[in-house]
C-alpha cells in the first residue's frame, strides 16, 4: 500500500475485511463545515479542536468503524457490488452522529477503489472478469453466426423453387 493516501505522510486508507476475512483497504473522502448556528455546539464538544483534527481523528474513526461493520457483514462479492449502498448508509449515519455535535458533514464517499492486501485477489478478480467477457463475446458471435446460417438456409431454399 502506498504511503500517499490521506492528508499526512502516513497511509490513511481505511482497512476493512469481508465476511470471509479477506483484507482490503479503500480510500474515503469526507467534507464538513461548521455553520455559524452550530459553532457553540462544536466548541462545546471539541473544546477548541480544529475541524481538520476532528475530521482526521473523530470522523475518520467513526467512518472506519462503520465501513468495517458494513463490509464485514458481507461477502467480498456482495461488498464489491454494494459499494454505493454501503457509502450511502455510512454517509447518513455519519451526518446523524456528528450534526448534534456541531459538525455539518457535507459528503462522505469512496475514492481510489479497493486495494487487496493479497494482490492475487485482484488478479483472480481480473481473470474472472476477463473470462466472463470472453463468454459474452462467444455467445454474441454464436448468435450472429446462427442468424447468418438462418439467412443462408432461407436463401438456399428460395433458390430451389
What angle (nearest 5°) sits at the alpha carbon of residue 103, between those of residues 16 and 67?
10
Q: What is the mean pLDDT of residues 43-63?
A: 95
| HEC-encoded secondary structure of the chain | CCCCCCCCCCCCCEEEECCCCCEEEEEEEEEEECCHHHHHHHHHHHCCCCHHHHHHHHHHHHHHHHHHHHHHCCCHHHHHHCHHHHHHHHHHHHHHHHHHHCCEEEEEEEEEEEEECCHHHHHHHHHHHHHHHHHHHHHHHHHHHHHHHHHHHHHHHHHHC
Give pTM, 2 decimals: 0.72
Q: Over 90: is that where the pLDDT of 18 sits? A: yes
Q: What confidence tier does 7 reach under pLDDT thresholds 50, 70, 90?
A: low
Higher pLDDT, 137 or 129: 137
For residue 160, pLDDT beyond 80? no
For 91-109, what is the mean pLDDT?
97
Q: Please say if the pLDDT value at position 159 is more than 60.
A: yes
Share of the chain above pLDDT 70, in %: 91
% of the chain with per-residue pLDDT over 90: 57
**Is pLDDT above 60 for 3?**
no
Residues 79/18, Cβ–Cβ less than 8 Å: yes
pLDDT given at position 128: 74
- Partners of 27 in the β-ladder: 111
Place of cell 483497504: 25
pLDDT at 90: 97
pLDDT score recorded for residue 1:
37
Distances (CA, A) of 18 to 70, 79, 101: 9, 7, 31
Mean pLDDT, to the nearest integer, of 131-145? 86
Q: How far apart are CA 93 and CA 91, in angstroms?
A: 6
What is the separation of C-alpha 145 from the centre of its chain, rounded to a whole number of angstroms?
39
Tell me the average pLDDT across 85-110.
97
- Assess whether pLDDT exceeds 60 at residue 123: yes
- Provide the β-strand partners of residue 158: none
Amino acid at each position: 500500500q502506498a504511503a500517499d493516501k490521506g492528508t499526512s505522510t502516513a497511509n490513511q486508507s481505511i482497512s476493512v475485511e469481508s465476511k470471509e476475512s479477506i483484507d482490503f483497504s479503500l480510500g474515503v473522502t469526507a467534507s464538513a463545515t461548521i455553520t455559524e448556528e452550530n459553532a457553540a455546539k462544536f466548541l462545546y464538544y471539541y473544546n477548541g479542536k480544529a475541524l481538520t483534527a476532528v475530521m482526521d481523528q473523530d470522523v475518520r474513526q467513526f467512518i472506519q468503524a462503520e465501513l468495517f461493520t458494513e463490509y464485514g457483514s458481507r461477502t467480498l462479492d456482495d461488498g464489491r457490488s454494494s459499494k454505493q449502498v454501503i457509502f450511502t448508509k455510512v454517509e447518513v449515519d455519519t451526518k446523524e452522529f456528528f450534526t448534534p455535535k456541531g459538525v455539518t458533514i457535507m459528503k462522505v464517499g469512496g475514492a481510489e477503489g479497493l486495494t487487496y492486501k493479497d494482490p492475487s485477489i485482484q488478479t483472480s478478480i481480473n481473470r474472472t472478469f476477463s473470462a466472463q467477457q470472453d463468454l459474452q463475446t462467444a455467445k454474441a458471435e454464436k448468435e450472429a453466426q446462427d442468424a447468418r446460417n438462418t439467412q443462408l438456409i432461407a436463401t438456399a431454399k428460395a433458390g430451389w423453387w
